[in-house]
């Protein structure tokens, strides 16, 4: 029987929306701290072409760390397996901006979805391209099928001004010879990547690629190989939620990635990509209601990968 995603989303949305508010909006920069915490939306894009959504699912927000998956995909497409010489594929079990493990492991980040790993990926893109931000945005626009996708320059500038821990991470990696380009150039790209804005609808459609074995659903064009899509999904599953990756996997059972803008995107390989946005975060930096909604979605439909 065909699953009626619209009906399921509507039901879950209303149940989760009225749950007690827990967590707080990301306090790091004014642009994120001022977001209305009651925003809540969810959108599901199926490989069959079906689109379902409710709430603030068409409102743009800062995708933040969700962008790390997109920069990784471009670098992996361009560099292939040698990418893994400079960044690992192990869960860190630590917060996204943790420093101690990086020093202990001589400047090689555990995985590309924590800050240090995403910074190394940005360094690779700086080596590959004269104008890496333009290339990254062109890539994101292509896979999203949306020429309007862009960054928020004010968010990027604010983060750069206040990103003291990220500055520590890149300096540590530079001292370990794992950063080739100028620190300023790499951090500029990193913060612009984090400041990309998308709605749940745009995010779900962009991430449909990973549910469709690396091919665009709209044209069938392969962007990455199915083996690459499988690997990126595996990294999302094991590393996408930092030191909460185990708990997220236990509860939701789908590859996914969160961002401190309150967004989460999750993939059901072969079936759909779903994006949810609710700005209140738990102590690990993951959206409280986003996690609740996804947990209920996979429990209710029985559609998880496990």
Which of 61, 67, 111, 50 lies closest to 238 in space, CA to CA? 111
In the complex with ligand GLN, the residue whose CB is nearer, 69 or 194, is 194
Binds ligand GLN (CB under 6 A): choice among 13, 46, 61, 65: 65
Give the Å distances, CA to CA, from 131 to 126, 138, 231, 272, 297: 8, 11, 27, 33, 40
Strands (E), 28-166: 41-46, 51-55, 61-62, 150-151
279 in Cβ contact with 39 (< 8 Å): yes
Is 109 among the residues that bind ligand GLN (CB under 6 A)? no
Shortest distance, position 291 Cβ to ligand GLN, whole Å: 14
In which order are the strands placed within the sheet that holds 256-258?
A: 51-55, 41-46, 272-277, 263-268, 256-258
In the range 158-217, which residues lie near ligand GLN by CB under 6 A?
Answer: 159, 166, 194
Shortest distance, position 95 Cβ to ligand GLN, whole Å: 9
Crossing angle, helix 67-79 and helix 132-144, to 10 degrees? 100
Shortest distance, position 165 Cβ to ligand GLN, whole Å: 7
Strands 263-268 vs 256-258: parallel, antiparallel or unpaired:
antiparallel
Shortest distance, position 143 Cβ to ligand GLN, whole Å: 20
- The closest residue (CB) to ligand GLN is 65
The binding track of 3-42 with respect to ligand GLN, each residue x by CB under 6 A or -, is ----------------------------------------
In the range 240-299, which residues lie near ligand GLN by CB under 6 A?
Answer: 259-260, 285
Kindly list the residues in this chain that would bind ligand GLN in the complex (CB under 6 A).
Answer: 64-65, 96-97, 115, 159, 166, 194, 259-260, 285
């Amino acid at each position: 029987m065909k699953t009626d995603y619209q009906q399921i989303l509507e039901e879950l949305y209303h149940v989760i929306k009225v749950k007690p508010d827990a967590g707080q909006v990301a306090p790091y920069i004014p642009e994120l701290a001022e977001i209305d915490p009651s925003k809540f939306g969810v959108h599901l894009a199926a490989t069959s072409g079906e689109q379902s959504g409710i709430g603030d699912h068409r409102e743009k927000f800062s995708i933040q760390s969700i962008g790390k998956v997109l920069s990784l995909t471009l670098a992996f497409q361009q560099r292939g397996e040698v990418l893994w010489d400079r960044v690992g594929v192990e869960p860190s079990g630590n917060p996204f901006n943790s420093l101690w493990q990086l020093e202990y492991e001589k400047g090689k980040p555990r995985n590309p979805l924590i800050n240090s790993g995403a910074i190394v990926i940005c360094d690779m893109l700086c080596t590959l391209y004269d104008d890496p931000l333009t290339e990254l945005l062109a890539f994101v626009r292509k896979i999203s099928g949306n020429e309007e996708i862009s960054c928020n320059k004010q968010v990027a500038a604010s983060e750069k001004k206040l990103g003291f821990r990220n500055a520590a991470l890149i300096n540590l990696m530079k001292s370990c010879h794992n950063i080739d380009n100028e620190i300023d150039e790499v951090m500029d790209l990193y913060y612009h990547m984090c400041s990309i804005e998308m709605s749940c609808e745009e995010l779900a459609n962009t991430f449909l690629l990973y549910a469709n074995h690396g091919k665009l659903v709209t044209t069938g064009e392969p962007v990455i190989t199915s083996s690459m899509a499988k690997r990126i999904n595996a990294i999302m599953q094991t590393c996408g939620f930092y030191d909460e990756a185990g708990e997220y996997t236990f509860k939701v059972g789908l590859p996914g990635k969160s961002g401190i803008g309150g967004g989460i995107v999750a993939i059901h390989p072969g079936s759909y990509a779903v994006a949810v946005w609710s700005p209140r975060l738990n102590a690990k930096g993951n959206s409280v209601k986003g996690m609740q909604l996804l947990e209920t979605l996979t429990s209710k439909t029985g559609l998880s990968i496990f």
